[in-house]
Structure 1
Amino acid sequence: MAALCESFTLRGPGPGGGGPGLCLEPGPGPDLVLLTERGRAATLFKISDQKPLGCWSVKHGQILTCPVVCNFETHEYIAVHDDRVLRIWKNEDINLDKAFKATLSADVYRIHSLPQGGPVVLFQGGAVRTLDVLLEAPQQDIENVVSGEAIRWSGAFMEGQQPVLIFTTEKDGDFFVYVQKPKLSSLHRYKLEQQESAKPLCFTAHITNQTVTLLCLYSNDSVYQVLIPLQQDTEEEEEEKEILSKSLLLNLSVSGGVLKGTSLVVLDKDHVAVLGSLAAPGNKPRECLTIWNTKFQTLQTSKELPLGTSGQLWCYEEKFFLIHGKVLTVILYKCETSSLAAAVGKLKDSHTPDMSLFLNWNTLEDEELVVSFQSQESVALKEESRMNLRSRRSSVDGEKPVTLPVGQLLINFKNAPSYVLESELKKLVGRTPNPDLQATIGCVVTALTDRCKKNPKYYPQSFLQQIIETHDFSYSLCPDLMAVALEKKDLPLLQMCLERFPDIPEEVTYTCLKAFLSVSEAHLQTLDVNVDSVICYIDVEMDEEEVKTEIVENGFGAEMDQDTCDTNEIPKEGHCRGDGGSCPVGLQKAALLNAVLHSAYTETFLLPHLKNLPAQQAVLFLRYLYYLYVKCSEKVNTTLPGIRSPTINQIMDWMCLLLDAQFTVMVMLPEAKELLSNLHKFVRAQVRFYSELNKIEGSLRELQRQNLLRESQTYSIEVLEII
C-alpha cells in the first residue's frame, strides 16, 4: 500500500524558473539536499525549515558541468566546472575561486557519492576512478572505455563493501549497459535487447542479492525489467557483447488512458514512482505523479500537477522532489510492504483468525481464481478436463468421483429456482474440506450475491450467515457480499463480517459504522443482533441513585473527586454520564459498534472517511467510546468481560482517530463541549491516580530493599505512613 501525503514548496521561482537545468543530490546529513541549477550555482537546503543554509557559485564565464555532490565521509562538497576542473570545499568556504582546485586530463560526465564507498568519478569516455585515486595524480591517463557511444544514464550502488557503478550508453539506436567495480578493476559490457516499436526513455536500478535490477521506461508506455548478475573476481574486460533480455514489468494504463512517463524512480522492491502526462481519449492530457505496485501491477495512488512539471523527479528519505510550475515542490509519501498482511491493515484483536487459515492463492491454478459467477462460462470448459482427470484418479483409488466441476455446476443452476440453487450449493459447500474449498465458497457466495442483484426480492440471509459462521471466509473472496448486505440493511450479517473478515477496506468499515449509528433503536429491537460482546458490562437501565452511590475499584467515584465528571453535566437525552453510568446506546447498537472496533484498519486510509461522519453521529460515537473507556478504567486489569469485548487499546485508538478527524466539529458543537470537558477531567484524574500508584510502588520497593539488608534474627514492628 502506498499513499501521497502533504506537499510544500522548498524553493520559489528562481531567476530562470524551473527547468531541466536543475539537479538534486542528498546533502551531508538527513533533512538536507543539494540543488544544482543552471550551471552556475549550488544551494544547500534544509527541507523541514524550507530555507537555504548556503549557496556557492562559480565566477562569470565558468559553468558547472555536473551536479554538485557531498563527500559523506569528510562533509566536503565536490563540483566540476568546464568539464575538467575539479573543486572541493567545505561549509565555511564562501569563495569557490579560492577552494581546492585540480585540473583533470579528461572530461567528467558525473560524480557519484556513496555513504560508505566515497565519491566515484565517471568520465565521458566511460572510465571510472575513485576520488582518492584521482587526487593522487589528477593528470593520470584516463582510458576510453566506450567508442562513439554517448552516456545516457548512470548510477552508483554498494554491493557489500564494494562500490558498483552502472551506466547506459547509446550508439546508432543500440543501447549498452556497463557494470564496473572500480576497486576491483572489473568491467562488464552488455547489449540491451532491441525493440523496434519503442526505445528507452530513462533508466533506474537497484541491487539485491548480487543481482542488478535495471528498470527501463520505454516510449510505448511500459516499464521493463532487466536482471544482470554481478560476477565476482573478474579482472579482464569482456570482449563479446552479451545481449540482455528484458521482461515486461508494468503497463502504465489508467482507466482507459495511458501515462506518458518522463521520469522513473524506485521506492522499494515492490513500488516505483512515475512522473508523466496522463492521456485519456477525449480529455486534455494532464501531468501527474503516480506510485505503482510492481508486485501486483496496480496503480496505488496519484496526484495531479495542474501547473506542469519539467519532467524530472528525485526521491530521498520518503520525499519526492519535482518542479511544479516554477517552484521546487516536496511531496511526502508512504509505502508499506506489499503483502497480504499489509493489505489487511491493522489487526489489533488477539482473537482475529489466523491468516494462515485463509486462501493461499499461490497454490491454485489460474482457472481456480475465478470468483465471478458471470465469468464462469469462459472458464468452465478449461476446468472440465482438469476436474475430469481428478475424477478418474479418484475412481482408481476407490473414492466417489466428482461428476461436475464447480464452474459447470454453477452454470447449470444459473437460472434454476432459488430453493433448487440453495439446495445444490449447500451440498457443494458441505463437501469434505480440500485446498480448493475457499475458492469454491467464493464462487458460491458470488453466485448468491449476483442473484440478489438481479432479483431484489431474493435474499438468502440464513444461508449466507451459515457460510460465514462455519467457514474461514474473507472480504476479498466476494467483495459484493457486504455491499449487498448494506443495501438490504442486514446489520447482523454485517456484524459477523466485521468480526470475522480480516481484510475489509476502510471505506466499507466506515460505511458500516455510519449505518450502525444512523439506525434507530426501535428498529434494532426487531433484529437478531449478537450481544455477547456487551451483555456482561452494559447497564442501560441503571437508575441515577444507584449510579451515584457506586464505589468503583480504583477509587474514582463521582463524589470522591471534584476533577471527575459531574453526572449532571451531560444532557439527559445523551444517556451518558461522566462516571460511566448508563450507555448512550442500546445493547444491539453497542454490539454493532463493538464489531467496528474489532475490524482491521490502517489510520492513513480510515481517517479521511471519518472526517465525513455527520456531527451528531460523531458525538454519539465519541460518547460510547468514552463510556467504554470509563468502564475499562473501573477495573484494575482494564479488561471488559464478555466475548469479543473491545480492548482498552482499541477504544483509545478509535477515540484518538475520531478526535483527529472531527476536532473542529467537536469544538464547535455545544453538546460536545461538555463531553470533551468531562473526558479531559477523567483522563487527568486517571493520570494522577496512576502517578500515585507509581509513588506507592516506589515506596514498597524501597521497603523491600531495606528488609533484605537487615539481619534475619532482628525482630521489629514499624508503622509506615504514606502521605
Structure 2
Amino acid sequence: MRIVTPLMPILTGNCVLMAAEYLCSHSDSNGSVYESVLSLRTSSTGAEGAQKLPRSVCLSLSVGEGQVTSAAAVVLDEAHLAVVGFPHPSAGANKDYLCIWNIHFQTLQASKEMPGGLFTQLWCYGGKLYVPHGKTLSVIPFECRKSSLAAAMGRLKQSRQSESQSCALVSFWTTQPHGDITKTQETRRISTRQVNGSNVKGTSSAQTVDQLTEHIKTETLEAVQVVVGEFICRASQTDLQLAAGRIALELVSRSQMDGNFYPHSAFLQLLNTQYLCHSVCPGMLLLALEKKDFDLCQTAFQLFPDIPEAITCAYLKAILSTPDSEIDSVNLDMDSVMFMKVLTQIGCPSEEEVGQQNGFCSSTPEDSGSHTPSKPQRDPLHLDIKCPVGLYKSTLLNDVVQTAYSDRLLLPHLKDLTVPHVILFLQYLQFLYLRYSHEAGIQIQALRSPSMAQIVDWVCLLLDAHFTVLVMAPEAKRLVSDLHKFVRSQVKLYAELDKIEGSLQVLKKDKQSEDSGVYSIKVIELF
C-alpha cells in the first residue's frame, strides 16, 4: 500500500526539531502508520549505501474487508493526524472519509464524509485542510485542542462558552465556503444578547461569520457597520478573503428588502480589503447606482476587473444625468480630483501659437503670401477650451474611460444614451484630447489617468453608436465638424511625420564617402 505524507517539523517536549530533522510517516499493508525521524545532516564518514530507518507505530488503522491501494495522511500537530483513503471505523467499507485521529490515545477525534470520490490527496496550510474530492476542493478550517485523555474521549469541560464555540474540530466543518451553511450544533448558536450602540464594543473577538450574518439580519444600521468594521480589523487575511463575499451578499440582501438600510461605510470597508469583485457580489454595484452612491461606485470601478458592459453604461448614464452641484458634494478620490484640477488650469497658448498646433494651420495657402491680415477664423484646435463638465463629474468620467470592455458587447448598450448625453461626453473627450495633445511633454503625476488611446477609442465608439443621430441633430453639427477638422489635421500631421521618418531612414542608410580626407557639404531637402 502507498501512503503519501508531506514532511513537516514535529515537536519533541519543549524543543522543535529544526531543519535537520523531519517527521516521515509511512504504512504497511496492515494499515499501521509509522513515524521515523529523518536526519538531513550529511554523514561525516562519507559512508554510502542505504540504511534502515528506525520506526515506531504511531497509529493502527483498520483496513476493512476491501484492499486499500492508496491513502494520504498529514500531521496536524504532535498529537493529531488527518487521514483520507482508510475506511471509517463505523461506516463499513466506505473509504470516502476524512478522519482526524489522536495518535497519543488512538482515538478518532472527528470525521467528515467527502462525497464524489477521493483522490487520496491531502494538504494542510494555514490552519486549513485542503481535500479534493469529485469535482470539488473542500477547504476545511480546523483547530486542535490540547491533547489529553479527557479531550480524546470527548469529555473535556470548557470553562468559558466562547471556548466551546471556537476550538472544536467538528464545529468548523459546517462552515465550508463553497457549501450551504447548516446550523445543527447547539454550540454555534448566536448569543441572544442584543448588540446596540451601548454594548457593541462588548462583542466577542472570536465572532464567527455566522454570528456576523445574524447581526446583519437583525441589528440597526449603526450597529451593523460597527460589527462589520470590527470583524474586518480582527479577522486574518485568509479568513477575510473567504468571508468578504458572503458578508457583502448579506448586506445587499437586507438593503434590497429594507429601503432605509444602506451600510455605505461597511461596503467601503469591504471594498478596501480588495477581496471583492463584481462576480462575487453582483448586486452591490446595482444597489449603489440606485442610491447614486458615486463614492462607492468610483472605488468599485477602480478595483473591480470584471464589471459588465451593461453596468458600465448604466454608470455612465447616471453620471451624465446627475447635476454637477449634486456630484460636487461627493467624497471622491483626491488624487483623481487633483489630476483634473491641474489639467483644467494649464495655461493656454498665445495667439501666435494657436495656428500651428498639431500640424494644422487655420490660414489658407493663399493667405500665407499676403501681407494683409485675414479675418480670424474659429480654430477647432484652439486649446483655450473650457471643460464642459464640473471637476468631480470629470473625475468620475475618467474612471469610465479607463474601464475594461469589449467593443461588441459595449456598442448595443451605448445606443441607450440620449443625444444630449452623447454630445456632452464627446465634448469632454474632445477637451481631454486637446489638453493631452498640447501637454504631450508634460507628465502630470497621477495614479490613475486615462491614456490617449483610451480617449480615442471612446470617441470612436460613441461615433459608431450614434453617428446617424448626430448627423441629423442640429446641436451636434458644430461638434461633428470640429472632430472632422481635427482628424483631418492629425492625418496631415502624421503624413508629414511619415515623410520625415523616410528621410531619416535614407540618412541612416547613406554610406559614408570612401574619400574621408575630402571635405564636402551635402544638402538634403526634407520637403
TM-score grouping bracket, smaller chain normalisation: 0.5 to 0.7
Q: Is the 8 A contact 1:506 1:602 kept in 2?
A: yes
- Distance of aligned partners of 1:632 and 1:362 in 2 relative to their CA distance in 1, 3 Å threshold: farther
Distance (Å, rounded) in 2 between the aligned partners of 1:404 and 1:706: 78
Distance (Å, rounded) in 1 between the aligned partners of 2:472 and 2:226: 56
Distance (Å, rounded) in 2 between the aligned partners of 1:562 and 1:439: 67
- Distance of aligned partners of 1:597 and 1:638 in 2 relative to their CA distance in 1, 3 Å threshold: farther
| AA at the equivalent of 1:461 | H
For each residue in 1:474-515, what CA deviation from the matched residue of structure 2 results, as whole angstroms up to 9, or x when unmatched? 111211211221121111211111121111111111110000
Q: Is the 8 A contact 2:339 2:449 kept in 1?
A: no
Per the TM alignment, residue 568 of structure 1 is displaced from its structure 2 partner at its CA by 4.4
Tell me if 1:699 matches 2:503. Answer: yes
Query: Aligned runs of 1:312-391 on 2, under 5 Å?
Result: 368-369=176-177, 379-381=181-183
Per the TM alignment, residue 599 of structure 1 is displaced from its structure 2 partner at its CA by 1.5
- Distance of aligned partners of 1:431 and 1:403 in 2 relative to their CA distance in 1, 3 Å threshold: closer
| AA at the equivalent of 1:419 | E
> What residue is the counterpart of 1:549 in the other structure?
351
Per the TM alignment, residue 625 of structure 1 is displaced from its structure 2 partner at its CA by 1.6
For each residue in 1:58-82, what CA deviation from the matched residue of structure 2 results, as whole angstroms up to 9, or x when unmatched? xxxxxxxxxxxxxxxxxxxxxxxxx
> What residue is the counterpart of 2:449 in the other structure?
645
For each residue in 1:82-116, what CA deviation from the matched residue of structure 2 results, as whole angstroms up to 9, or x when unmatched? xxxxxxxxxxxxxxxxxxxxxxxxxxxxxxxxxxx
> What residue is the counterpart of 2:290 in the other structure?
487
Tell me if 1:502 matches 2:305. Answer: yes
Distance (Å, rounded) in 2 between the aligned partners of 1:520 and 1:381: 49
For each residue in 1:301-351, what CA deviation from the matched residue of structure 2 results, as whole angstroms up to 9, or x when unmatched? xxxxxxxxxxxxxxxxxxxxxxxxxxxxxxxxxxxxxxxxxxxxxxxxxxx
Q: Is the 8 A contact 1:367 1:379 kept in 2?
A: yes
Distance (Å, rounded) in 1 between the aligned partners of 2:337 and 2:377: 22
Q: Which runs of 5+ in 1 are unaligned?
A: 1-360, 371-375, 387-400, 571-576
Query: Aligned runs of 1:494-573 on 2, under 5 Å?
Result: 494-530=297-333, 532-533=335-336, 535-536=338-339, 546=348, 549=351, 551=353, 555-556=357-358, 568=378
Q: Is the 8 A contact 1:594 1:646 kept in 2?
A: yes
| AA at the equivalent of 2:414 | L
| AA at the equivalent of 1:653 | D
Per the TM alignment, residue 720 of structure 1 is displaced from its structure 2 partner at its CA by 3.9
Tell me if 1:606 matches 2:440. Answer: no
Q: Is the 8 A contact 2:433 2:455 kept in 1?
A: yes
| AA at the equivalent of 2:454 | Q
Distance (Å, rounded) in 1 between the aligned partners of 2:308 and 2:264: 22
Bigger proportion of residues as strand: 1
> What residue is the counterpart of 2:270 in the other structure?
467
Tell me if 1:442 matches 2:245. Answer: yes
Q: Which runs of 5+ in 2 are unaligned?
A: 1-135, 141-173, 189-203, 366-375
Bigger proportion of residues as helix: 2
User: Size of the alignment, in residue pairs?
Assistant: 335
Q: Is the 8 A contact 1:607 1:657 kept in 2?
A: yes
- Distance of aligned partners of 1:650 and 1:534 in 2 relative to their CA distance in 1, 3 Å threshold: farther
Query: Aligned runs of 1:9-20 on 2, under 5 Å?
Result: none
Distance (Å, rounded) in 1 between the aligned partners of 2:298 and 2:269: 14
For each residue in 1:212-231, what CA deviation from the matched residue of structure 2 results, as whole angstroms up to 9, or x when unmatched? xxxxxxxxxxxxxxxxxxxx
For each residue in 1:259-290, what CA deviation from the matched residue of structure 2 results, as whole angstroms up to 9, or x when unmatched? xxxxxxxxxxxxxxxxxxxxxxxxxxxxxxxx
Q: Is the 8 A contact 2:216 2:224 kept in 1?
A: yes
> What residue is the counterpart of 1:20 in the other structure?
none
Tell me if 1:410 matches 2:209. Answer: no
> What residue is the counterpart of 1:596 in the other structure?
400
Per the TM alignment, residue 448 of structure 1 is displaced from its structure 2 partner at its CA by 2.4
Match for 1:617 among 418, 421, 430?
421
Distance (Å, rounded) in 1 between the aligned partners of 2:459 and 2:287: 29
Q: Is the 8 A contact 2:359 2:493 kept in 1?
A: no
RMSD: 3.8
- Distance of aligned partners of 1:514 and 1:368 in 2 relative to their CA distance in 1, 3 Å threshold: farther
- Distance of aligned partners of 1:430 and 1:651 in 2 relative to their CA distance in 1, 3 Å threshold: same
Distance (Å, rounded) in 2 between the aligned partners of 1:384 and 1:425: 24
> What residue is the counterpart of 1:428 in the other structure?
231
| AA at the equivalent of 1:614 | T
Distance (Å, rounded) in 1 between the aligned partners of 2:495 and 2:207: 69
Question: Under a length normalisation based on structure 2, what TM-score does the superposition of the two structures give?
Answer: 0.55
Distance (Å, rounded) in 1 between the aligned partners of 2:226 and 2:485: 59
Q: Is the 8 A contact 1:539 1:581 kept in 2?
A: no
Q: Is the 8 A contact 1:584 1:624 kept in 2?
A: yes
Match for 2:467 among 663, 668, 675?
663
Per the TM alignment, residue 694 of structure 1 is displaced from its structure 2 partner at its CA by 1.6
| AA at the equivalent of 1:414 | K
Per the TM alignment, residue 634 of structure 1 is displaced from its structure 2 partner at its CA by 2.8
Question: Under a length normalisation based on structure 1, what TM-score does the superposition of the two structures give?
Answer: 0.41
Per the TM alignment, residue 562 of structure 1 is displaced from its structure 2 partner at its CA by 6.0
| AA at the equivalent of 2:446 | G
- Distance of aligned partners of 1:588 and 1:614 in 2 relative to their CA distance in 1, 3 Å threshold: same
